[in-house]
Structure 1
């Protein structure tokens, strides 16, 4: 039986029409001349068997001796010949990387020549090409004469390299059918193994995938959020790889400060409880250090951009919001496009940067499967964002990798594409994208830019059942980055970064299908009741804020602890509430204070269950308290207190965030600072009235 490499050699000889040298053949196939010479006898035997012959002349090379009939016959037989698999140079690179990442001990060259069926010379050439790849992860390739080859580097660095290798070797959608929850379809690990290169799946513990998936589902339920699809898949890979690295668990180093922070985190405790619940759980054997490592990645994962999860808190995200605004101002300077009033952009960037900054500070890898496509298709935008991102680097003392630059570029690019465009909305379209907020918005913008008759209703998940659960009466078309099953609504599959071929496919779908307006009026009427219920809930929360508003002046305290005790006592109806409030305020302040330095004001907020439920309080101090900040010491003489229940529903958070937004970005702070109680109450009522009116027209 011919090998695939022998078939290549015969094909080159057939097509040459003249003499061809061994060197020329080896150059084309990218192996050594010794490898070609070793297989030349088998090549000659096959040609002779089927009626041809080889002429070998020193200094000239090899030529086929055969008439046109025999040549034609050889060509057909060659196509029909079933061959043994011979690894391409690219295949060998993947296998060598995987082999070296699996072991700490040297791997002998002889072992590699047997594994890949090439000469030591070819292996030597392949290894020389590996060094730059390993160097980018601060991993050194070491040759030990007589012993073999090994790599040396930090265990975290090796894990970064493993994840990068997995993403380089296959597209994440190759795993999606195995990872996503499918009714009546268990995870088929055997099929997964058949579709992934042996050397790659050796880096993963595939039998653990179903357990990791179960934990992520539980975590989402407990925490009240959902991971973005690409983050979800990355976490499955991370869990599976961590279990496979059992021999290297003692080599993972996490500093004591980070350990202390993670060990008190709710996610860590959920993970710790989960692994100990069942003796069948393969993750039960993970040491504490590895649980901390996984928690770091869980905390740094992106959340999904869908309705309920698309909100941010002006209080809790204050620092990130300020950072995003500075970044946007820099982008405005570089591009000449005004972006500061784009709330959707700000929300998207805050939700994206919150976990991304955490990942960069924790030295966790950031992988963007679309980075090369974005650099290629939007080179000027990519360079502009790289320049503007220095604002974030300087403020946060981090270095932003190209993968993260590409994510930021998709956010900004989506808005620039959409700038000053009017959309005629006819077709109701849902976009199913797995690459996070920025990439999905860029895809949406490209669709809307090319199709004035499309209205994007929403962006949904391709992992969960969001796509299959859509109402046919309200949706005309689905545009998805991966194929979807069990879908009766027309669907067009496109690339994540939209190309000309995708535009043609969408245009053809629009010609084939007509907008469906039959059931929409009924749907809108049915939605009216839901809108009225939502408005009633908002109204109740706003009334609570107004009724529970209080203003205290000439308050004398010396320390933050004194202030917290004063506030807790004034807002509580019993000792139990005082203790709960004090504890909640102290815990919140330990995470960092929200100070408006130029105004000498502090936003003090917490979550605690008290009779008042939701309340707002303004305190003016007789003498300022000196607060320590990164930039120095700041005198604070005005305190704005906000309290919400422990289980803080989204509507309460939105109302309190609207008040905070007017304090931070509007003129409400000046009135609180200088005005009388009547003026403060009037302004509070005015801003809440405007907010309620916007809800009436916007819901």
Structure 2
């Protein structure tokens, strides 16, 4: 039973009532046809294994697990959980397995032998090899064929090692004693010896690495050990090797390699010292807390790039971060080894990337914007894993601004005289304390005398003209409980008002039929341009943003958006699809095309928080996908 089928059986075990095929398909995010086939296989297995259970198909209701003998069924589950499936079943797992086989051997592998090994036909294996070749091509590697011998991996040894590392880190994050992910590199005890040696040597010279950077280095050394045993050696350009030898990290690498040679009885060629030193140079080194030595350790060009990065983000997103010295220091320290990694085509995997994209979208967008400066200044292409690390620094800066957030500034408009306005003023001061700064009280006809840039919202005892674009709430002078809640909503910026502010009925499209993300983006972009909401160039800008990093965040949701503003307004365009489509590896059926204006008088943090709240609510997403009514879409979103 493969992993997907186990999830299906688990779902059926937890249900008291029949569940439809379409619900199960949504649960594991596959087609209804795949669910039907899987359920047939599970039922066949249950009967063959005499598991004391079967899967019943109930007409008009769905599928239900019927357990006839509890003890037999529990025995079956126990055996299923204890047995490990050593042969990969799913195409993705087979491709991963095949890539690993070619990367870790210097010998020829025959197609028929591999097909027998995986219990698949020759034609199935040849289809899997097409995907393997695509993966290997990313690292400038290829499979070479020789008649009567089979296939063998061909390419630069350094690139082979980085491919191994990338493949490994795609499946795991940090090495731990409990993890067996590295067993196919070296035995666990040898991995622990390498890790201990690296830690001791780094401590001796007061070089600090993050946990992820440390494990990255340990794995790369293990890869070197494995391939040295096969007689495969890394090659560096003479200029690169001479440059690395002059660095402090080279001496540290010498000490690490010497101790590993003694511990593991292995002989490293001299060039391997440069290889390890390269990784020390390519990991993040922390300076003292005050960063007093920052300018001594960093080139002026890096500091200039960081300055441009922060200023461009501030120009586009108005985050209030230009005075944050910690932000400048953090990015500068990160950028130096990052540029070194790119110079030597060294990969780095960010195990937090999906969490960063979903939970810190504002910071991630700042990372995307800032990465464009790095690309312009150094002529390199920054991938989303590196963007994620840059985003963490902006996220920390955003959190620091919250610590310094000033109270909301409120203006009271009252038409019934000085006594009433003063009464209202003191009531509000007593109720909201330091949550509010009341900038004054005024009559309606004097409202124009106030600079709207100095006011966050207005509390008024009379309705205000439509020409007033400052957020406002109308209350009575007596200030009842419901009106207190209305004011609190203004302070907290409630979700209902955000939906009304950013989502227009005219920009809701339901049950569309498209097959590709580019088709969805093109349709929505043309609608916005034709209706006059944005300028031309929107579609190209959204496509460019997708190229930088996918905007599919899981849970069937994608939030595409342009790199540059194409309108002076911030708004959402919402669309649902009849069927999910593949969006860079994630199934997507709900799309919110987000447009953020160049100039925003208000913070976008509440809006992004609303989108996060929405993305995490699978029940709400399912309800939205079922409706054909635009008004219901808005009402459902307001109910979050």
CA distance in 1, matches of 2:213, 2:53: 58
CA distance in 1, matches of 2:331, 2:153: 38
Contact 2:197 2:259 in 1 (8 A): no
CA distance in 1, matches of 2:252, 2:223: 20
Distance 1:75 1:151, change over 3 A: farther
Contact 1:3 1:85 in 2 (8 A): no
Quick one: which of 386, 410, 421 aligns to 2:368?
Answer: 386
SS of 1:419's equivalent?
helix
Shift of 1:408: 1.0
TM-score (structure 2 length as normaliser): 0.50
Shift of 1:75: 7.9
| Higher deviation after alignment, 266-275 or 236-245 | 266-275
Question: Any residues of structure 2 matched to 1:176-575 within 5 Å, and which?
Answer: 176=176, 178=177, 192=178, 195-197=179-181, 200-204=182-186, 206-247=188-229, 250-276=232-258, 280-282=262-264, 284-304=266-286, 307=289, 310-319=291-300, 320-379=302-361, 381-419=363-401, 421-422=403-404
Shift of 1:344: 0.9
Distance 1:4 1:235, change over 3 A: closer
CA distance in 2, matches of 1:285, 1:110: 36
Shift of 1:243: 0.7
Contact 2:261 2:267 in 1 (8 A): no
The answer for the alignment partner of 1:72 in structure 2 is 67
- 1:122-177 deviation per Cα after TM superposition (whole angstroms, max 9, x unaligned): 444443443443333333355667654444332222222211222222232xx24x
SS of 1:245's equivalent?
helix
| Higher deviation after alignment, 117-126 or 351-360 | 117-126
| Higher deviation after alignment, 393-402 or 72-81 | 72-81
- 1:459-499 deviation per Cα after TM superposition (whole angstroms, max 9, x unaligned): xxxxxxxxxxxxxxxxxxxxxxxxxxxxxxxxxxxxxxxxx
Distance 1:279 1:420, change over 3 A: closer
Contact 1:205 1:244 in 2 (8 A): no
Of the two, which has the highest radius of gyration?
A: 1
Distance 1:28 1:286, change over 3 A: farther
Shift of 1:423: 7.8
CA distance in 2, matches of 1:377, 1:341: 25
Matched, 1:155 2:157: yes
Contact 1:204 1:237 in 2 (8 A): no
The answer for the alignment partner of 1:164 in structure 2 is 166
CA distance in 1, matches of 2:197, 2:6: 49
SS of 2:381's equivalent?
coil
CA distance in 1, matches of 2:6, 2:366: 49
CA distance in 1, matches of 2:207, 2:64: 69
The answer for the alignment partner of 2:141 in structure 1 is 139
Contact 1:6 1:43 in 2 (8 A): no
Matched, 1:127 2:129: yes
Shift of 1:255: 0.6
SS of 1:201's equivalent?
coil
CA distance in 2, matches of 1:70, 1:217: 52
The answer for the alignment partner of 1:657 in structure 2 is none
- 1:613-637 deviation per Cα after TM superposition (whole angstroms, max 9, x unaligned): xxxxxxxxxxxxxxxxxxxxxxxxx
Distance 1:52 1:43, change over 3 A: closer
- 1:349-370 deviation per Cα after TM superposition (whole angstroms, max 9, x unaligned): 1211121122222222122111
Distance 1:283 1:28, change over 3 A: farther
Matched, 1:105 2:107: yes
Question: Any residues of structure 2 matched to 1:602-621 within 5 Å, and which?
Answer: none
| Higher deviation after alignment, 125-134 or 314-323 | 125-134
Shift of 1:42: 8.1
The answer for the alignment partner of 1:95 in structure 2 is 97
CA distance in 1, matches of 2:53, 2:402: 72
SS of 2:285's equivalent?
coil
Distance 1:311 1:211, change over 3 A: farther
CA distance in 2, matches of 1:228, 1:11: 38
- 1:57-83 deviation per Cα after TM superposition (whole angstroms, max 9, x unaligned): xxxxx99xxxx9996327863452224
Shift of 1:417: 3.6
Alpha-carbon RMSD across the aligned residues, in angstroms, is 4.6
The answer for the alignment partner of 1:697 in structure 2 is none
CA distance in 1, matches of 2:53, 2:335: 68
Contact 1:109 1:120 in 2 (8 A): yes
SS of 2:185's equivalent?
coil
Distance 1:373 1:29, change over 3 A: farther
| Higher deviation after alignment, 246-255 or 320-329 | 246-255
Shift of 1:260: 0.7
| Higher deviation after alignment, 375-384 or 334-343 | 375-384
CA distance in 2, matches of 1:201, 1:283: 19
Contact 1:205 1:243 in 2 (8 A): no
CA distance in 2, matches of 1:228, 1:114: 43
Contact 1:275 1:281 in 2 (8 A): no
Contact 1:249 1:290 in 2 (8 A): no
Shift of 1:114: 4.2
Shift of 1:296: 0.5
Shift of 1:293: 0.6
CA distance in 2, matches of 1:260, 1:164: 27
CA distance in 2, matches of 1:238, 1:204: 11
Distance 1:211 1:104, change over 3 A: same
The answer for the alignment partner of 2:534 in structure 1 is none
Distance 1:76 1:407, change over 3 A: same
- 1:226-256 deviation per Cα after TM superposition (whole angstroms, max 9, x unaligned): 1122211211111112111115654522111
- 1:168-189 deviation per Cα after TM superposition (whole angstroms, max 9, x unaligned): 22232xx24x3xxxxxxxxxxx
CA distance in 2, matches of 1:53, 1:318: 67
CA distance in 2, matches of 1:369, 1:285: 33
CA distance in 2, matches of 1:77, 1:404: 51
- 1:431-450 deviation per Cα after TM superposition (whole angstroms, max 9, x unaligned): xxxxxxxxxxxxxxxxxxxx
Gaps of 5+ in 2: 22-30, 407-433, 435-640
Distance 1:336 1:43, change over 3 A: closer
